[in-house]
Structure 1
Amino acid sequence: MASDKKIILVTGGNTGLGLEIVKALYETDVPYEIIVGCRTLSKGEDAIATLRKAIPQSPSSLSAVQVDLSSDASLEAAVETIRARHGGRLDALVNNAGGAFDQEARAGRMSLREAWNATWDTNVSGTNVLTTLAVPLLLRSSGDGDGARIVFVTSGTANLTDTEVTAGPLARINSSPAAGWPKEVAADWRGGGMVFPAYRSAKTGLNMAMREWHRVLRNDGVKVWCVSPGFLATGLGGMGVDHLKKMGAQDPSVGGRLIRDVVQGKWDADVGRVVSSIGVRSW
């Protein structure tokens, strides 16, 4: 059914940063049709029930759709569901879903090749398949005359310039380990080692993919960004929320509000860039 509300799909929207993005949008006085993309529909419905209970007066609507970035059939079905439910249009796509699998290889649960392939498939390939499928809906955005929006959630660890920084918080992952093999990885990532090479590389690739989408859709009036949400205490990386907080990670709500700001137009002057809470990031 068509709606006058802006229609927003947030992938990975039932947990972690994705849930905070949905919450940040849902708690404002701006009415949205928010679609929670999730691999397991029941988890999406549980997240929606929790939000409705916590924020009973929201003017926005919530629904869930199954989105598995590793399955083209899932992505095709998700886009078709959105097309049928929402009058054939989408106003914003927040590509939040992702994954880090380096630790799976270290633990022996995946081979090195499997971990790298899964990382790129989830963070880059699947995200771009979904974006490609969603473009026809985005081009039909009402957008109040200012066009549709696409957000790719990247990582500050993917910044090429910052890989040369070996002081401050980045020293945890940028410093070089002692000579010898294998390279050990400390619990707090200090001392270098093979920490997240697949994840960092994939997010750097995602930054380039964003630049391509910005180029390709510029004349269609579609605004595209990468957002680096900061060091957040989520389940990503398998470190545990409490441990990440001890390392200085912020609450995921910080990232949720930042991405809401991008969706609501507060970063329109920096379209086509990687933006963060501290401003536009270098490459």
Structure 2
Amino acid sequence: MVSTKQVILITGANAGIGYDTAALLAASSSNNHVIIGARNVAKGEKALAEIQARKPQGTLSFLQIDVTDDDSIAAAAKKVEADFGCIDVLINNAGISGTQGMAGTTASPTRENLRAVFETNVYGPTLVTEAVLPLLKASKSPKVINVSSGLGSITMRSDPNDPTYSVSFDVYRMSKSALNMLSACHSASFKKFGAKVWAYCPGFVVTNLTGEEDRQNRVNMGAESSETSAQGILEILEGKRDSEAGGFVTRYGKAYPW
């Protein structure tokens, strides 16, 4: 079937930025259908029930998808095709920080950690986007938002005066730089079918990215609510950042250098 609504798929939407984004986009318009993508069925269905209990204007559904598993990605793409016929907005949100560079650790990068972070943060968005490419092409106004990080900016990492200069997270930084390049590549190649692509930094917010035990530390360091991240994504969907398609944007109308 072909949906008459704007179909929005969000990976890693059972918690944090993905959860808040799903809730806000569902609440913002009756024309939105938000697909909560999550690898854990129980957590995904719990998130779906919680957001539906708020009685949003739009509609929602759950989709099991593990961005590190090719079979899961293929099955998810097939289900979305059968249920909706297209994807209007793909938000590649699923991501991990890895262990190297986390608060309280001094561990050097390992091959295992490198693989784990790149599997989720780089290979995942690359292969998910490729799998649903026909569904994006079926949309009248396709959009792709890759949830990146200012820590992936090579320009900012090279500036000793940048506020994040002392932050390590080397493996995470590398993965988000790679995701930014993916965004730039897709922006260039997807223009032929009218798709707009953004790399989006959600800002320093309170999530479980660096572990549940690190939430209070984030608060103490001035992290904001992840609802502010969701608001930034909503503004992209509302067309307020169209002139910056192909770029690296963040909240509050701001942008970052590559």
TM-score by length of 2: 0.93
Question: Where in structure 2 are the equivalents of 1:102-181 lying within 5 Å?
Answer: 102-103=99-100, 112-142=110-140, 147-167=141-161, 169-173=163-167
* Identical-pair percentage: 31
Q: Where does structure 1 lack aligned partners over 5 or more consecutive residues?
A: 174-194
Counterpart in 2 of 1:234? 207
Aligned residues: 255
Q: CA–CA distance in 2 between the matches of 1:113 and 1:125?
A: 15
Counterpart in 2 of 1:77? 75
The residue type equivalent to 1:72 in the other structure is D
State the Cα distance separating 1:59 from its structure 2 match. Answer: 2.4
Counterpart in 2 of 1:245? 219
**Are the counterparts in 1 of residues 9 and 34 from structure 2 also a CA contact under 8 Å?**
yes
Bigger radius of gyration:
1
Q: CA–CA distance in 2 between the matches of 1:18 and 1:212?
A: 24
2:102 maps to 1:89? no
- What is the Cα-based RMSD across aligned positions, in Å? 2.1
Q: CA–CA distance in 2 between the matches of 1:85 and 1:123?
A: 27
Q: Where does structure 2 lack aligned partners over 5 or more consecutive residues?
A: none
Can you list the C-alpha shifts for 1:91-139, whole angstroms capped at 9, x where unaligned? 1100000111134999699971000111111101111000001110010
Q: CA–CA distance in 2 between the matches of 1:64 and 1:121?
A: 23
Counterpart in 2 of 1:12? 12
Q: 1:82 to 1:12 in 2, by over 3 A?
A: same
Can you list the C-alpha shifts for 1:25-73, whole angstroms capped at 9, x where unaligned? 01213421110000112211101111122x22x2211111111111000
Counterpart in 1 of 2:233? 259
The residue type equivalent to 1:112 in the other structure is T
Q: CA–CA distance in 2 between the matches of 1:110 and 1:45?
A: 37
The residue type equivalent to 1:209 in the other structure is L
SS in 2 for 1:37: strand
In terms of mean alpha carbon deviation, does 129-138 or 95-104 score higher?
95-104
2:254 maps to 1:279? yes
Can you list the C-alpha shifts for 1:169-188, whole angstroms capped at 9, x where unaligned? 32441xxxxxxxxxxxxxxx
Counterpart in 2 of 1:182? none
The residue type equivalent to 2:29 in the other structure is D
2:95 maps to 1:98? yes
The residue type equivalent to 1:131 in the other structure is T
**Are the counterparts in 1 of residues 100 and 170 from structure 2 also a CA contact under 8 Å?**
no
SS in 1 for 2:132: helix
TM-score by length of 1: 0.85
Counterpart in 2 of 1:209? 182
**Are the counterparts in 2 of residues 102 and 197 from structure 1 also a CA contact under 8 Å?**
no
